[in-house]
Chains A and B, each alone.
Chain A
């Protein structure tokens, strides 16, 4: 059982790190501000979500596990709000290469 949970942790955390890497590559390589924001929100929401999911079996206690979920929920809420606000500013500034 413990080996299965460890395997789940390794797979999920690796996938989360991969999402962060993909988000940074998108942030550096995509052509304009809105597409960069698109890549960034994937890294925020899915990357951190996978890392939190992978850490849950290692948390040790229910309280720490709930706090991990709370961190992810806070980042989700902030990411959704801030994504809209930054997109509005970027759109008003006009297209920039």
Chain B
């Protein structure tokens, strides 16, 4: 059972790292931050799987911390995007 859980953790991390190709290709900033958010969730899943498999319940606390911090990444991105839009003129503006 533990080997299965570790293999599942590895599978999740491999798929999430494949998804990081989206960070390189873009095209928009939103696409890039989506891949980063998937990395956060995948990291949470892998931490839970490997922590339970190796009998270290403390990693569940680590996963909880990572889940909260990964949410703040996207919140910071949205706030930054709103700031950039307020200061820079939009393409359709006359001014």
Contacts and interface: CB of A to CB of B under 8 A. Distances in A.
Interface of A: 6, 9-10, 13-14, 16-17, 20-21, 23-24, 27-28, 33, 36-37, 40, 43-44, 47-48, 51-52, 55, 58-61, 64, 67-68, 70-71, 74-75, 78-79, 81-82, 85-86, 88-90, 92-93, 96-97
A20 B60 contact: no
Given A17-B12, A24-B18, 14 more contacts: A6-B1, A17-B8, A24-B15, A33-B30, A40-B37, A51-B45, A55-B49, A78-B68, A78-B71, A82-B78, A88-B78, A89-B29, A89-B81, A90-B30
B75 A13 contact: no
Interface of B: 1, 4-5, 8, 11-12, 15-16, 18-19, 21-22, 27-31, 33-35, 37-38, 41-42, 44-45, 48-49, 52, 55, 57, 60-61, 63-64, 67-68, 70-71, 74-75, 77-78, 81-82, 85
30 contacts: A10-B4, A13-B4, A13-B5, A16-B8, A16-B45, A20-B11, A20-B12, A21-B11, A23-B19, A33-B31, A40-B34, A43-B38, A44-B38, A47-B41, A48-B44, A51-B45, A51-B49, A52-B48, A59-B57, A60-B57, A64-B60, A74-B64, A79-B41, A82-B37, A82-B71, A82-B78, A86-B74, A86-B77, A86-B78, A92-B85
Nearest to A47: B45
A75 B28 contact: no
A75 to B, nearest CB: 5
